[in-house]
């Protein structure tokens, strides 16, 4: 992904923490249920099931994620401990463990789309507003997500994504920060989710 061109969505990529703290790659390990049907790609938002196992959060304007999926591991009967960029879905194995970035101070870089996988842009006036997730299918070749955020932003408090900043290197047609924006996680009293208005 060479700047300033963004060829398509790539999921949520952790970049640092609020206040300029460094993201050192720390993750929480959460089990995925054996046989869980939905594929989960690197950079997808994920949620907890009632039994404490992990699943892809497919919400758009009302997502309630616990974090962002950053790969998984399991014990393969032939190859032993195996690490994967993504969970392919429908894997019958009781040892599947997901690696999840769930730090409430984490900031993420994410592509902005006008619809589907068509790259769009937001400008600096979107900073501080909320946005919705756009759920696209990930790549089985790279294992990467294709989740993005929609380029329509508003103060709608129930929308799950907060635009914290824009990426200056992706400026387009004179608008600072086109194509991409930063997002952060905030915690409200009821649940951990991508954002809640103050």
Cβ proximity of 16 and 187 under 8 Å: no
CA neighbor of 12 nearest in space, from 155, 181, 191: 181
Q: 79 or 176: whose pLDDT is higher? A: 79
Residue 86 has pLDDT above 70, yes or no: yes
What is the distance between the alpha carbons of residues 171 and 5, in angstroms, rounded to a whole number? Answer: 9
Lowest mean pLDDT among 62-71, 165-174, 181-190: 181-190
Mean pLDDT of 169-190: 44
Residue 179 carries which DSSP code?
Answer: S
pLDDT band at 122 (very low <50, low <70, confident <90, very high): confident
Query: What pLDDT does 29 receive?
Result: 98
Mean per-residue pLDDT, 126-130: 86
**Domain boundaries of the chain, sorted by first residue:** 13-20+105-187, 28-101
| DSSP assigned state of 194 | S
pTM of the model: 0.86
Mean per-residue pLDDT over the chain, rounded? 84
């Amino acid at each position: 992904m060479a700047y300033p061109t963004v060829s398509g969505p790539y999921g949520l990529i952790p970049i640092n923490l609020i206040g300029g703290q460094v993201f050192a790659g720390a993750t929480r390990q959460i089990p995925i249920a054996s046989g869980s049907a939905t594929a989960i790609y690197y950079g997808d938002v994920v949620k907890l099931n009632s039994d404490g196992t992990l699943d892809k959060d497919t919400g758009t304007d009302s997502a309630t994620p616990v974090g962002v999926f950053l790969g998984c591991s399991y014990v393969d009967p032939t190859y032993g401990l195996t690490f994967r960029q993504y969970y392919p879905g429908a894997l019958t194995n009781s040892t599947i463990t997901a690696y999840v970035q769930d730090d409430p101070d984490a900031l993420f870089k994410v592509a902005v789309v006008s619809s589907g996988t068509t790259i769009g842009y937001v400008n600096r006036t979107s900073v501080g507003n909320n946005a919705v997730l756009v759920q696209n299918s990930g790549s089985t070749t790279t294992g990467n997500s294709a989740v993005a955020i929609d380029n329509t932003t508003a103060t709608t408090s129930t929308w799950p994504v907060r635009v914290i900043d824009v990426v200056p290197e992706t400026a387009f047609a004179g608008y600072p920060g086109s194509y991409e924006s930063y997002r952060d996680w905030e915690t409200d009293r009821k649940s951990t989710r991508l954002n809640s208005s103050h």
